[in-house]
């Protein structure tokens, strides 16, 4: 299908070169299906890189998507210019009167802080409350998933003695979940975090269901059906070189960190790693968007049949 994205956005030309169909809103008007409106609250330091990763997964799906970037007023960053925010991001206050099909809340470099000490926590709480009634499906990634679990269910995060960092094997706990349809039973998932959510806390909450779990990293994907949320505690959206860049960044900064586990060939940082998770990441995002389609009250049976054949 296609992705509706501002032609001036830095992501546009890169995705187009990769074969992703990109349209303006006007060009898309001739398509047979109205696009899924998906808001992105990007809290990661490298804005364009994260936008590229997520837009690639959304834009390669069988569904047309209109991606809208949303900012929180309290989210101040040093790595992105205010002009960039003004040009491509809408403040949450300007969209809170609207409904969205999907919402993604990314990770953030604030893991060592308590949730309440994060400068934009109050505004993020307002957004998460708003999403319960104005968004069909919400996805949290890494810290964003932890924030959703904490805000809605009081699930705490725990500090790790060292960073969980590398590519770890995970297996399905719920093979019948529509979110995991088509994914391999055993998959590799990139992990990069200083905190964790513990399985016993998830198991103790009847509203939460673990779908994917790692042998060493605990719960990886959790469904929160009561709030229409999918909580992804790791980084299936990462590119092949994202962990490499994070490792080199931390090494330059003098941070005591080991090379990412099971990532570099022969555990040699001088060798080029491969992306072994992309196909599973694409299926997960496609399934997530498929759930939006099934929840849309105005979606008719004819369109559903066409999409089923397309998938």
Alpha helices per DSSP H over the chain: 10-17, 25-28, 47-59, 82-88, 92-95, 121-134, 143-153, 199-203, 242-252, 278-295, 301-310
User: Is residue 163 annotated as involved in ligand binding?
Assistant: yes
Given 9, 28, 51, 142, the catalytic residue: 142
User: Is residue 249 annotated as involved in ligand binding?
Assistant: yes
Given 9, 75, 152, 235, the catalytic residue: 235
Q: Is 196 within 8 Å of 164 (Cβ atoms)? A: yes
- Active-site residue flag, 142: yes
Residue 127: phi and psi, rounded to 5, are: -65, -40
Residue 277 is classified by DSSP as S
- Tokens for 184, please give them: 């391999």
Given 51, 68, 237, 246, the catalytic residue: 237
Give 8-54 as a DSSP string. Answer: TSHHHHHHHHTT--EE-HHHHTTSSSPPEEEEEE--SSSHHHHHHHH
**CB atoms near residue 115 (< 10 Å):** 16
- Active-site residue flag, 237: yes
- Active-site residue flag, 111: no
Binding-site residues for substrate: 163, 192, 249
Q: What are the residue numbers of the active site?
A: 142, 235, 237
Binding-site residues from annotation: 163, 192, 249
């Amino acid at each position: 299908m296609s992705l509706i994205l501002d032609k001036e956005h830095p992501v546009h030309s890169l995705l187009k070169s990769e074969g992703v169909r990109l349209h303006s809103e006007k060009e898309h008007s001739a398509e047979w299906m109205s696009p899924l409106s998906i808001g992105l609250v990007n809290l990661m330091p490298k804005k364009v890189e994260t936008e590229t990763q997520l837009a690639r997964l959304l834009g390669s799906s069988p569904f047309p998507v209109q991606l809208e970037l949303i900012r929180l007023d309290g989210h101040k960053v040093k790595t992105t210019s205010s002009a960039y925010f003004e040009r491509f991001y809408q403040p949450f206050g300007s969209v809170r009167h609207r409904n969205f099909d999907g919402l993604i809340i990314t990770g953030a470099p604030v893991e060592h802080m308590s949730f309440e000490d994060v400068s934009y926590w109050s505004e993020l709480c307002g957004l998460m409350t708003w999403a319960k009634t104005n968004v069909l499906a919400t996805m949290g990634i890494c810290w964003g998933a932890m924030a959703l679990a904490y805000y809605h269910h009081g699930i705490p995060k725990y500090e790790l003695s060292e960073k969980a960092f590398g590519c770890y094997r995970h297996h399905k706990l719920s093979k019948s979940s529509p979110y995991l349809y088509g994914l391999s039973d055993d998959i590799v998932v990139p992990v990069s975090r200083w905190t964790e959510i513990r399985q016993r806390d998830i198991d103790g909450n009847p509203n939460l269901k673990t779908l994917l779990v790692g042998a060493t990293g605990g719960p990886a994907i959790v469904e929160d059906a009561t709030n229409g949320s999918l909580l992804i505690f790791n980084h299936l959206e990462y590119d092949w070189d994202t962990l490499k860049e994070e490792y080199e960044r931390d090494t330059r900064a003098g941070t005591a960190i080991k090379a990412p586990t099971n990532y570099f060939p022969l555990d040699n940082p001088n060798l080029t790693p491969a992306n072994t998770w992309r196909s599973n990441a694409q299926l997960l995002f496609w399934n997530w968007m498929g759930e939006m389609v099934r929840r849309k009250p105005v979606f008719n049976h004819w369109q559903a049949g066409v999409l089923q054949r397309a998938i």
